[in-house]
Structure 1
């Protein structure tokens, strides 16, 4: 059981505000991987226009929302299962499948393990693609790009894995929460060919709405889809999330600008972090950079004293307290992070 494990996430500005005795607005949160450009203005206008509708229940069938998502992901509306954030859908999958044997990445998103263990699954781990052995397993979880490392798998490898998995009756659960930030292609077009494929999408990361919560799971597995709707909680998606995402999905200027901006700032932040000799920095396809501190500096504490939060990766499998992840943010904030690391690093040594 997982009772002694730490499944803490980043992004807790509320706790940091209390500890530092400063307003939440003054905290710079590099621990949460959200689009640094913020929400789509068209989406925000949609929310503002719909505020009067909060006196009504949301559409229980999410007809317009599913139509918009189907156009964006180029799949049929019936293939889209909605959740109040992507995490809810991880739990829905692990609950409805009623236990089995799962193979998950280590390191990888901590909620895979928590959801699986809480629903009676046996969990084993792999650290790279060569460790993915399809023996005595019912599902393989893939995070593409990986959280927290930012590494990715090629389309060719994933399709090969899909084919081998299908022949053995094994599900492939691919988390594409950060795929829009990467140069890699989504596998959404493959769900029509593989009913053992489940693709998780987080609308909160790229479209910058973690406070509204919205995610979806794409699959053509009829048995799972029926089970999902048989256990569906009514009105789990709030009306404001729907009114935001529908116009945001059509905001081509915002989408293009976001992808271009993240690519540029990721290159910049990776390059500048790599100049610090006390860091080992890893290339990333996500909107975040993963690195290891090579000595005993407590950079997390030093940054926190300046109102900057970063993500300790100590609670990820196969990692320890020397590993960290920082989000790619706007240039002025990235420079502030770098400045504090640069100016403070000589005094960060602890005995």
Structure 2
């Protein structure tokens, strides 16, 4: 309860004391003043929009879903606005963190800023829209938010700080969500890019059914370690008489698959989403190899391979159609398919109905399936490249 403290001096006359008592509003407004004070510390829900207006946080409210967090931290954010601390505080409202990188002063766009997010984004919308808006409001007015990235970061090339192509041979990786930035004071600036990458691995033994469908199955040597116990074609073979039957068998299978035309097909519950062109390589485990898969280094080997690596990297926007991204629930390998007439033979992405041919595995009583077909959950997006690898061990 508010304590009433008289403010008249000790030498006040009786008339002044009586006049002060008559005009004192404490008796009428004490309860209302106390209610206002309580509401300021724990405001009721109907008061919240007015407090946002009173604190001058209206321009931030479209990007912060939690209005309680906005009121609790918004004033502190205003005090450090246009600093790194403001960006760190704003990102925490959305559950993110990141590291800022300013462009070198030698660049024409020296005032550009890039953001390396601390984790993969939850969703393109509305998360990336909100981050763009908060970055535009938190940065100094002279700075432009150019790009955010996580796990896929390909930079523009420089050639010794020369003027070759204005010091840039290409551009940063990424895709834009909007034609213009959504920050109110950035309407004439370019929208920032977003560049994300994810890895998916299928690690399994190559089955007899899959290799038979591909025409590369070689029967084991019935327990014999000798090369003479295998039935493999000798034309073009590079085996030595000292090699074991197991080494020769793996080499024959891997050599037949190395470099073969292959696509990774993605499907959801409604049908085929598309096909991504893949690379097939015979590999063996080796320290410092070209590939890092399943926590191990692998190198291309055709003399003593132990596995076949099939890898693909989708482009930004692949699998994103009809205004919404699709989620693949199954994927597998489609060998020996080719684009239909009228399409370039080296297209990196093929839709559901633009490939002809392709080998399927007869798997009765189930319908024919793809090679190494497996369940998955890959949500495609406009700002992410999906790297899919199949490690088929021999």
Class of the TM-score when normalised by the shorter of the 2 chains: under 0.3
Higher RCO (C-alpha under 8 Å, 6+ residues apart): 1
Judging by fraction of residues, say which structure has more strand: 2
Judging by fraction of residues, say which structure has more helix: 1
